[in-house]
Structure 1
Amino acid sequence: MLLYAYNGVGKTRLSVTFRDLGRVVGADGATVRRDTLYFNAYTEDLFTWDNDLTFERKRVLELNAESRFFAGLRELEMEVKIGRLLARYTDINFYIDYDRREPPDSLNEPGAPLPPAVTFFREREENGDPRPIKASRGEENIFIWCFFLSIVELAMDPEVEAYRWVKYVYIDDPISSLDEHNAISVANHLARLLTSAGRGPSVVVSTHHVLFFNVLCNELKSRAIRYFLKNGENGSYSLLDTTSKPFLHHLAALVELHDAQETGALYTHHFNMLRRVMEQTASFFGLEDWKTCIEVADIDPDRTLYARMIDLMSHGDYSIYEPREMMEENKAHFRTVFRRFVAGHPFNPQLFP
């Protein structure tokens, strides 16, 4: 199942709620059973940087060893699996130190154990030791993603006992801080992993990234159900099924704007949405700017008014989380601009029944 949603809709909250549906908590508050392996903002928080602020020589990415996410890390030779995946995206190398300790208090007493940590490097010292480096945010995120993918591969292997508890895999926005090339690569790789597996966990992917979502849709085709996820009433969600037709962000926005101007439920932020669609349309057609998308006659006295209104409303001081309904006069102007825009460009008429 693929879910597309704007930022702020609550994708992370939804992924946590989904996880909690399959979690059983004991009397002491500890989790005794679960069924969902998930990737979201909380997963990224399992990795924290120790930047060696005192000496600034050995910066490492520490792993939260208390999490079940890292079950069987050493025994399953995860470094080999992660390295094979990581090589698809970057030339950075790494190793995991499982036996870290604090400096000893004396010659006879070893220091207290420290959490396992990842050391990144590209070059080695003259003696052959890796030269530690601080990975970029994009390299860090792609490493964590490859770490997660290697676990998903294990969860899809019925012979691996450590992850046999996984019934569902929930992936929320895995491509933050990645450029478009890597966004396409990650989506393509994920789709191939999911389609190459036999029977395995059911998978949900949610994202706000248009390109990532579209690549997944094209790669998975009929294997996936696709939804546009939006906020409903009283903290609920609503789902628009986009499985039967191609999904693009600007097309989904047009459908939403069409429905809003038909029903009269027009809010100030709809001007912002309309301008964004016009910006994308102008860019696609190589036009000078979005104002050329307003199809009105040169002699129309309201031509300048429409352009100024959209410009003003799309820079207004308002919050999309607290919708402010338009005045009736502005609603009428919005309908005029929207209908002329749609009539002047060859969008599929089936989008606007």
Structure 2
Amino acid sequence: MGRNIETIQFNALKEVASHFRKVLTGDHTPEKEFILFFAHNGTGKTRLSMEFKDFNKPEGDFDTLYFNAFTEDLFVWNNDLENGVTRMLQLNKDSKLFIGLQDLEMETRIGKLFQNYVDINFFIDYENYTVTFSRNVVIDGNTETVENIKISRGEENLFIWCFFIAICEIAIDQVNSDDDTGAYNWVKYIYIDDPISSLDENKAIAVACDLANLIQEIKNEGSKIKTVVSSHHSLFFNVMFNELKNKAKHKAYYLHSKNNETYTLQDTGDVPFFHHIAIISQLKQVVDSGDIYTHHFNTLRSILEKTASFFGYDKIDKCIQGLDDEVLFERALNLFSHGKYSIYDPKEMGADNKDLFKKIFDGFLAKYEFYLPEIFNKQQEAV
């Protein structure tokens, strides 16, 4: 497998946004239909989505339909605190996302998506920009409808997600038809930042598959719309990658930030990027720097547990079996990976324990020979 993998360093998120636009438009590179990238929480994914969205804002050129934490904030609960009876989700009518909803058959479009995840009914009041929910329940053998319920956080996230995807479908239809009067005919890009929150793994897979189908629909219809998707969720990322890797021209990346001062983008190549490989790479950086804290034993133990699970081992000690001082290593892992060593109360290790950590980590890497991304030791300046 070739390892001549592209790695680029940027000094600001706006530069990353510019790079993404160039990749999607074929500026000095083969044109791509979508970008998928993995980044840990705190890297700046949401800020990057806003930089991408606002890239042409000074010229008044809005071209990006986006989903991120700010999109979710456009939906706010009115819990009827006075009476506790009529609970509703209030839409921010000033948002461009909700332009012309009355004419777009949103209940039908959202409903066909939402019913794939949950058994909840909803009604949109277009005049007041509110959504109410109801659920059918069986009481004493009779089916009754409970009105004005407040749905769970996970159900709310799914509803907002389905609402957004329904609007994406409308945008695709309008752009493809060259409808100059359409509410979403301005859309050139769809940018989706971390659609996964408060979801179990089954629903995460379902959301990834539905999104992959949407991107495939964009390609099949010959649409001009390009897509960017980011995630911190390794399962979601891998499902998306595998669903689309042979179906659309794409780029898959890993985005890393060093102290929010520089940003490094690495092409993941022709295989999906695995979360534990990213963590191992970060631990290697920690070991190389010498800034090893006690809580890093928690991280190392987590990696050993995932490796043991992959190989079918019943205990993590099998991962260090055969190494010199394996008994000492096992004791150290059990002692220092205790929950009291929290990332929120970091304590730097003493020299002896740092040396012990390095020996365990280096022995583990030597035994399993993971291929680590070049992102931490081979960086190219962005052009």
Q: TM-score, normalised by structure 1?
A: 0.81
Does structure 1 residue 138 correspond to structure 2 residue 154?
yes
- Pick one of 261, 280, 301 that aligns with 1:235: 261
- Work out the CA distance in 1 between the residues paired with 2:172 and 2:340: 48
Partner of 1:290: 316
Partner of 1:79: 107
Partner of 1:306: 332
- Residue type of the alignment partner of 1:81: R
- Pick one of 24, 46, 54 that aligns with 1:20: 54
- Work out the CA distance in 1 between the residues paired with 2:124 and 2:260: 46
Partner of 1:152: 168
Partner of 1:194: 215
Partner of 2:206: 185
Does structure 1 residue 63 correspond to structure 2 residue 63?
no
Partner of 2:133: 120
Does structure 1 residue 169 correspond to structure 2 residue 190?
yes
**Alpha-carbon deviations, 1:162-198, whole Å to 9, x = none?**
1111111111111211111110001011011101222
- Work out the CA distance in 2 between the residues paired with 1:310 and 1:220: 41
Distance 1:174 1:340, change over 3 A: same
**Residue pair 1:154, 1:163 contacting (<8 A) in 2 also:** yes
**Residue pair 1:2, 1:206 contacting (<8 A) in 2 also:** yes
- Pick one of 243, 247, 254 that aligns with 1:219: 243
Partner of 1:316: 341
- Residue type of the alignment partner of 1:139: E
Larger RCO (CA under 8 A, 6+ residues apart): 2
- Pick one of 351, 358, 365 that aligns with 1:342: 365
Structure 1 residue 19 displacement after superposition: 1.4
- Work out the CA distance in 1 between the residues paired with 2:256 and 2:347: 18
Q: Aligned residue pairs: how many? A: 325
Distance 1:301 1:81, change over 3 A: closer
Distance 1:57 1:332, change over 3 A: same
TM alignment of 1:30-49, pairs within 5 A:
32-49=60-77
Tell which structure's C-alpha radius of gyration is larger. Answer: 1
Distance 1:51 1:291, change over 3 A: same
Q: Percent identity?
A: 46
**Residue pair 1:265, 1:325 contacting (<8 A) in 2 also:** no
Structure 1 residue 67 displacement after superposition: 0.5
- Work out the CA distance in 2 between the residues paired with 1:130 and 1:169: 36
Name the Cα RMSD after superposition: 3.1
- Work out the CA distance in 2 between the residues paired with 1:351 and 1:8: 20
**Residue pair 1:295, 1:341 contacting (<8 A) in 2 also:** no
**Residue pair 1:121, 1:130 contacting (<8 A) in 2 also:** yes
**Residue pair 1:272, 1:310 contacting (<8 A) in 2 also:** yes
- Work out the CA distance in 2 between the residues paired with 1:334 and 1:255: 15
The unaligned stretches of length 5 or more in structure 1 are: 26-31, 100-114
Structure 1 residue 285 displacement after superposition: 3.9
